[in-house]
Structure 1
Amino acid sequence: MSSHTVLLVEDSDFITQHVSETLQSEHEFEIETATSAAETRTALEESAFDCVVSTYELPDETGIELAASIDDGEGTMPFVLFTGNPLEPLAEEAIEAGVTAFVSKSSRATGDMNVFANRIRLAIAACD
């Protein structure tokens, strides 16, 4: 299994720690973190990532607004929206903004994260 570098954008320390540790130890991802859209843009300017995984509710904007602002129009940056909000009302706007995949926070933030890791891998493969 090859390692992918993922930028996790989440403002909850608990979720950031749990998701980062699990994706690194059990799924062999390299994880860097950001807590806001502004930090995300800085990180993307300074380093290369295979995928961005972002929560919907950030302190400075939504994950959908963030996805739209970093979309290069070619769909080359996989973007996974990680949200506790219902997905259906967000789906159309998110897809138009460049979101590649969705993951519900429900049990993924505290439980088994195999589905989450697989969504990240599929999003990366879809944009290769």
Structure 2
Amino acid sequence: MSSYTVLLAEDSDFITQHVSQTLESEHGFEIETVTSASETRDTLAESDFDCVVSTYELPDETGIELAESINGDGDEVPFVLFTGNPLEPLAEEALEAGVSAFVSKSSGATGGMDVFANRIRLAIAAGE
């Protein structure tokens, strides 16, 4: 299995630690973490990633605003929105902003991460 590099934007230390450790140890991803939208953009300017995973509620803007800002210039990066909010009200706006896939925190952050890892792989494959 090839190793994908993923940039995780999440401001909760608990969720960051759980998600990054599980995706690295059980699914073979290389994870780098940041805590804000501005830090995400700065990190993307310095390094290439196969995918960005972002929580919906970042301290400085929403994950949808972040997706639009990094995918609005035509240089698309697969983007997975990781949220505890109901997905239905966000879906249309998120897809228009360049979000590739969604993962619910209620199922992904506390239980098995197989679905989460699969959504990341599918988002990357769709972008290739």
TM-score normalised to the size of structure 2? Answer: 0.97
Q: CA deviation at 1:72?
A: 4.4
Length, aligned pairs only: 128
Contact 1:6 1:30 in 2 (8 A): yes
Moved more, 68-77 or 16-25: 68-77
- 2:94 aligned residue: 94
Q: CA deviation at 1:110?
A: 1.2
- 1:85 aligned residue: 85
Specify whether residues 103 and 32 from structure 1 end up closer, same or farther in structure 2 by C-alpha distance, changes over 3 A only: same
Q: CA deviation at 1:6?
A: 0.0
TM-score normalised to the size of structure 1? Answer: 0.97
**CA distance, structure 2, for counterparts of residue 110 and residue 75 of structure 1:** 33
Gaps of 5+ in 1: none
- 2:45 aligned residue: 45
Contact 1:51 1:80 in 2 (8 A): yes
**CA distance, structure 2, for counterparts of residue 13 and residue 39 of structure 1:** 15
Q: CA deviation at 1:76?
A: 3.1
| Overall identity of the aligned pairs, in % | 80
Does residue 55 of structure 1 match 2:67? no
- 1:106 aligned residue: 106
Let me know the Cα RMSD of the aligned residues.
Answer: 1.0
Contact 2:7 2:31 in 1 (8 A): yes
Cα deviation 1:16-71 (Å, max 9, x = unaligned): 00000000000000000010001000100111100000000000000000000000
